[in-house]
């Protein structure tokens, strides 16, 4: 049986352990919700103060040029690119994940419509268990188009081969499932889509900064993701969109705002898209929020995704092992894959009173979150999560379950 001392020893030998000091983590809290909102980098506070007090307060509008505000979306994109297997000038940090997904999906449909061989395709394939906003955005886009597009929902990866056919225009999937932590084989699924003439759009919200990604090598067509989870960019931080060089000349998106114009300050009445990744931009950028993203990326520059992945798997393996060993008498069901290749950086357990148990955990200082139906999610961010945190979290969970110290009638908060 693993002991707490064993966990302390693993922490002492952990090469990533020094990075924890670069995050502002409150005393008495075990934070296992980085898959929903990452912790604040210590440097973010000073960076925000500098942007507000000096760049905005003193230099005013001059900072668009002197402080590099204008180029910030592209510069951050280039810094993020290595974390997702992209090249320079293929990523911009901008807008929200939902807005970027709308752009990517619209562009993919337009690219298919422009080719005689695929012009009549009208089906978007995605999973029923996909993050709801992805499905909503696809439904909204299909509803606005006048050419009869429809959404086909599948129940799991096993149904994809039968669902993708000559009518499929685009396959839209989330790489790591938000509820279960299941991780798709990006290369295999992308190849499956291409074998049937479809394009594939990936949502990396639960992957970027958590698992190694190889968008170009794995044959992806377009991708989006957020920066406020594992990338620690702050609540509501701008998202990102990836358009590989192979598709940039054909990439057209309907939100043709002035920041995506080839010469925005020419103030011409007609829209001409910028060359390259700049055409994925839309309107004026949220500079303060963008600056916070850079504070998170600074930490990633001090390690590698391989090191992060190795610790992620070790943390999640330990959590599964301890929960099953110490809480095995209770009706907990592991819904996250055991296989490393199919697991992201979270572990989800179902419990008949999952919301009440999670509320009790949070009250005891162990912060995870809850998703319907009955699923308790625990996210592991290797940059700041310790092995001893895992042991302590499971011990508190055991105490709550053994003592039935949770309120089945617990009031639901607006955000669970």
Give the pLDDT confidence of 283-326 residue by residue, as tens digits: 999 999 999 999 999 999 999 999 999 999 999 999 999 999 99
pLDDT for the residue 415: 84
pLDDT for the residue 145: 87
* Cβ–Cβ < 8 Å for 78, 89: yes
| Total number of residues shown for the chain | 416
Query: Using alpha carbons only, what angle is made at residue 319 by residues 317 and 324, rounded to the nearest 5 degrees?
Result: 100
Bridge partners of residue 120, in order along the sequence = none
pLDDT digits 0-9 by tens, 243-257: 999 999 999 999 999
pLDDT for the residue 413: 86
Compute the distance between CA of residue 67 and CA of residue 290 in angstroms, rounded to an integer.
Answer: 13
Compute the distance between CA of residue 271 and CA of residue 260 in angstroms, rounded to an integer.
Answer: 9
Q: How far is CA 110 from the centre of its chain?
A: 25
Compute the distance between CA of residue 175 and CA of residue 86 in angstroms, rounded to an integer.
Answer: 16
pLDDT for the residue 412: 87
Report CA torsion sign: 248, 251, 253, 257: positive
Query: What Rg, from alpha-carbon coordinates, does the chain have?
Result: 22
Give the tokens for residue 330: 């209770």
pLDDT for the residue 309: 98
Which residues, other chains included, contact 57 with Cβ-Cβ below 8 Å and sequence gap of 6+? none
Q: Please give, one letter per residue, the 3-state secondary structure of the chain.
A: CCCHHHHHHHHHCCCCHHHHHHEECCCCCEECECCCCCCEEHHHHHHHHHHHHHHHCCCHHHHHHHCCCCCHHHHHHHHHHHHHCCCCCCEEECCCHHHHHHHHHHHHHHHHHCCCCCCCCCEEEEECCCCHHHHHHHHHHHHHCCCCCEEEEECCHHHHHHHCCCCEEEEEEECECCCCCEECCHHHHHHHHHHCCCEEEEECCCCCCCCCCCCCCCCCCEEEECCCCCCCCCCCCCCEEECCHHHHCCCCCCCCCHHHECCHHHCCCCCCECCHHHHHCCCCCCHHHHHHHHHHHHHHCCCCHHHHHHHHHHHHHHHHHHHHHHCCCCCCEECCCCCHHHECCEEEEECCCHHHHHHHHHHCCEECEEECCCEEEEECCCCCCCHHHHHHHHHHHHHHHHCCCCCCCCCCCCCC
Compute the distance between CA of residue 326 and CA of residue 400 in angstroms, rounded to an integer.
Answer: 12
Question: In the chain, which stretches have pLDDT less than 70?
Answer: none
Q: Which residues are catalytic?
A: 131, 203, 228-229, 377
Compute the distance between CA of residue 17 and CA of residue 14 in angstroms, rounded to an integer.
Answer: 5
pLDDT for the residue 132: 96
pLDDT for the residue 206: 98
Phi-psi region of 361 (alpha: psi -120 to 50; beta: other; left: phi over 0): alpha
From edge to edge, which strands make up the β-sheet containing 375-379?
A: 333-334, 346-350, 375-379, 369-371
């Amino acid at each position: 049986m693993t002991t707490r001392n064993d966990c302390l020893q693993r922490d002492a030998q952990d090469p990533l352990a020094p990075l924890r000091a670069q995050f502002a983590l409150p005393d008495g809290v075990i934070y296992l919700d980085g898959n929903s909102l990452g912790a604040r980098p210590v440097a973010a506070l000073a960076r925000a103060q500098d942007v507000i007090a000096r760049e905005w307060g003193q230099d005013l509008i001059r900072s668009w040029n002197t402080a590099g505000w204008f180029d910030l979306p592209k510069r951050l994109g280039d810094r993020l690119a290595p974390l997702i297997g992209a090249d320079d000038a293929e990523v911009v940090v901008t807008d929200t994940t939902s807005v970027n997904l709308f752009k990517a999906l619209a562009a993919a449909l337009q690219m298919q419509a422009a080719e005689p061989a695929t012009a009549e395709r009208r089906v978007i394939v995605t999973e029923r268990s996909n993050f709801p906003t992805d499905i909503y955005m696809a439904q909204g886009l299909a509803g606005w188009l006048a050419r009869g597009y429809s959404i086909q929902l599948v129940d799991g990866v096993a149904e994809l081969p039968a669902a993708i056919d000559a009518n499929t225009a685009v396959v839209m999937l989330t790489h790591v499932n938000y509820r279960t932590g299941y991780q798709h084989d990006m290369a295999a699924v992308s190849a499956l889509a291409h074998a049937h003439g479809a394009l594939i759009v990936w949502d990396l919200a639960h992957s970027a900064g958590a698992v190694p990604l190889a968008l170009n090598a794995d044959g992806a067509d377009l991708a989006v993701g957020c920066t406020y989870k594992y990338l620690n960019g702050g609540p509501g931080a701008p998202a990102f969109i990836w358009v590989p060089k192979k598709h940039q000349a054909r990439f057209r998106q309907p939100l043709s705002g002035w920041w995506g114009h080839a010469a925005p300050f020419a103030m011409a009445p007609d829209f001409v898209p910028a060359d390259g990744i700049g055409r994925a931009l839309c309107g004026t950028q949220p500079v303060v929020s963008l600056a916070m993203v850079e504070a998170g990326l600074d930490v990633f520059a001090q390690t590698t995704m391989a090191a992060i992945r190795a610790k992620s798997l070790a943390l999640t393996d330990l959590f599964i092992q301890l929960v099953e060993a110490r809480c095995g008498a209770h009706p907990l069901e592991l819904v996250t894959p055991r296989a490393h290749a199919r697991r992201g950086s979270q572990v989800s357990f179902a419990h008949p009173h999952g919301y009440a148990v999670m509320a009790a955990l949070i009250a005891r200082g162990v912060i995870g979150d809850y998703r319907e139906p009955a699923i308790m999610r625990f996210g592991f961010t290797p940059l700041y999560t310790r092995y001893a945190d895992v042991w302590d979290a499971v011990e508190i969970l055991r105490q709550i379950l053994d003592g039935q110290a949770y309120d089945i009638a617990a009031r639901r908060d607006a955000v669970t």
